[in-house]
Amino acid sequence: MKFDYDIYSDRCPTRAVLDRIADKWALLILDRLALGPTRFNVLRRDITGISQKVLSQTLKLLERDGLISRTAYPTVPVTVEYALTPLGENLTEAVAAFAHWAESNMEAIRKAQLAYDRRERRSDAGVTPKASR
């Protein structure tokens, strides 16, 4: 079976999907949910730096795309648990490979950045590196 989808075309619906999953926060959420169903505030505390607004938005969109499920338990206060759906689990391997590539290659990247910045300084002007803003 072949797909007539083309990720390089902005008219292709796959682009919208890429837009959703190729996102720092979505990736971290999916990766974290791979460890098991998790409540809203636990996600918020574990994924340092995410704001409530963005967490809530991202969860809603991931739910709409069928990657995660949301279950509210009528405890007090209400408990809301998010979990991967089978479709979402389907993606976890790729997500994990991706998210943890950074951990494995951090040294090489740091070296590359230092070399680049040294070169830039020699050749004057200089792209403003994000870190120095």
Partner DNA sequence: CGCACTTGGTTTCCAACGGAAACCTGAAAC
Partner DNA sequence: GTTTCAGGTTTCCGTTGGAAACCAAGTGCG
Task: Give the binding site for its own copies (CB under 8 A).
Answer: 3, 5-11, 13-19, 21-24, 27-28, 31-32, 46-49, 60-61, 63-67, 87, 90-91, 93-95, 97-106, 108-113, 115-117, 127, 129-131
Q: Which one of 57-65, 90-98, 101-109, 110-118 is the stretch in contact with DNA (CB under 7 A)? A: 57-65
The tokens of 45 are what? 């505390």
Q: How far is the CB of 54 from its own copies (least distance, A)?
A: 13
What sign has the CA pseudo-torsion 35, 39, 44, 45? negative
The tokens of 36 are what? 């098991």
Residues in 68-127 at the binding interface with DNA, rule: CB under 7 A: 70, 72, 76-81
Q: How far apart are the first and last CA of the chain?
A: 49
Indicate which of its own copies, DNA, none lies near residue 51 (CB less than 5 to 8 Å, by partner kind).
DNA
Nearest to 88 by CA among 43, 23, 34: 34
Q: Bridge partners of 70?
A: 82
